[in-house]
Structures are given as C-alpha cells and as structure tokens.
Amino acid sequence: MLDLGDSGALFGLIDGLGHGLAAAAAAERAVAVLAENRAEPLDVLMVLSDHALADTRGAAMTLAMLYFGTSELSWLGVGNVSTCLIEATPTGPAARDTALLLGGIVGYRLPATLPSQTTKMRPGDLLLMVSDGILADHGDAIDLSKPAHVIADDILSGYAKEIDDAFVLAARHRGTKQ
C-alpha cells in the first residue's frame, strides 16, 4: 500500500514469475517504480513497470487505486493476481465485484490496451488480492468480523500452495470521517 496523502491510496500485489530470489527481484523493482510514480494513472504505472522489468523474469500485477473523496476504486490487472471486493451478506461474505484480469506478463508482454475498471468501495468492504500461489477455495477462510490483517494471515496460513510463492493483501474500508 502506498499513501497518496489525503487524496487516496494505491494498493498493489506483484507476483514475480516463478519463485525465489529472481522472482523477488522483479517484484522489488516494480515496487520502487510504483513508489516513485504513485500519483500517475494505473495504465501509466503498468507501462512504467513493464519497462522497468524488461530484463527480469516479469511479473503478474494488479493495481487498485482508492480515491478517498468519492470512495471510487479503480483497478487494473495483468496476469493472475485475483482481486475482488468482499462484502458481508446475510449468507456470509461474498464477492460483490471482481477485477477483470488481462492476459500478459508485466516486463515481457503487456496487452495492447490497458483499460482500468472502476467500482465503489463501501464502508465495511474488504479489498482482497491474492496471488496464484493461494488455493482457489480461500474464500472459506474469510471471517469479516476479524481485522483485515488477521484475515490475510488466515488465508496465507491455510491456503498457500507449497510449490509457489503466496501473497495476500487485505484492506478494509472503515468508513469516512464526519
């Protein structure tokens, strides 16, 4: 998560291709680019990251920008980092909106167009991003009565595949100040 002061926050999950040190190096380089250019639009951030990762293995990456004033959330994903907004429903936690992921690899093969989508993040909503090292049934671990970091820990400890790096990002909208 990168802070944009009062205006918003940029969330991102970057999964370097493969695993181990070379994968981590690609991800670290993308993080540096995002930190330096955090105020840029998501498609620009994706292109800048693609350039910066050109001599690495590349990465899957989803970015999500939350604008505090409007609670609008824009997201853009290339490769397999699943991202959704989870809300409480009478029958339990459910995904209200899911980011459309574009095929490709950041640093190697970026899609020709990079359309972001915009949704609304409501108070209580949980933004959840998981890498493909997390098993698909991880939704079973989500207990919205717990703090976001505990939910992330629960998913990571119970649903990580043994053969891949696994990453989880969970962030909750706690409402706006009156």
Cβ at position 27, least distance to Mn ion in Å: 10
CB of 132 to Mn ion, least distance (A): 4
Least Å distance between CB 47 and Mn ion?
A: 22
Contact 17, 57 (CB under 8 A): yes
CB-wise, 14 or 66, nearer to Mn ion? 14
# binding residues, Mn ion (CB under 5 A)? 5
| Binding of residue 133 to Mn ion (CB under 5 A) | yes
Tell me: does residue 132 bind Mn ion (CB under 5 A): yes
Q: At what angle do helices 21-36 and 42-52 cross, to 10 degrees?
A: 140
CB of 124 to Mn ion, least distance (A): 30
Which of 58/133 has CB closer to Mn ion? 133
Letters for 102-131 (x = contact with Mn ion by CB under 5 A, - = none) are -----------------------------x
Cβ proximity to Mn ion, 52 vs 134, nearer residue: 134
Beta bridge partners of 101: 77
Helix-strand-coil split of the chain, %, nearest 5: 25, 35, 40
Return the closest-CA partner of residue 61 out of 40, 77, 72.
77
Residue written as tokens 């939704």?
Answer: 139
Q: Given the complex with Mn ion, which of 31 and 88 has the nearer CB atom? A: 31
Q: Could you say which residues in the range 152-171 bind Mn ion, by CB under 5 A?
A: 164
**Near Mn ion by CB under 5 A, which window of 8-16, 33-41, 86-94, 149-157?**
8-16
Give the CA-trace dihedral at 77, 23, 157, 146, to 10 degrees.
-40
Q: How far apart are CA 123 and CA 96, in angstroms?
A: 13
Cα gap 89→11, rounded to integer Å: 25
Q: Which two tokens stand for residue 61?
A: 């990456």
| Binding footprint of Mn ion on the chain (CB under 5 A) | 15, 131-133, 164
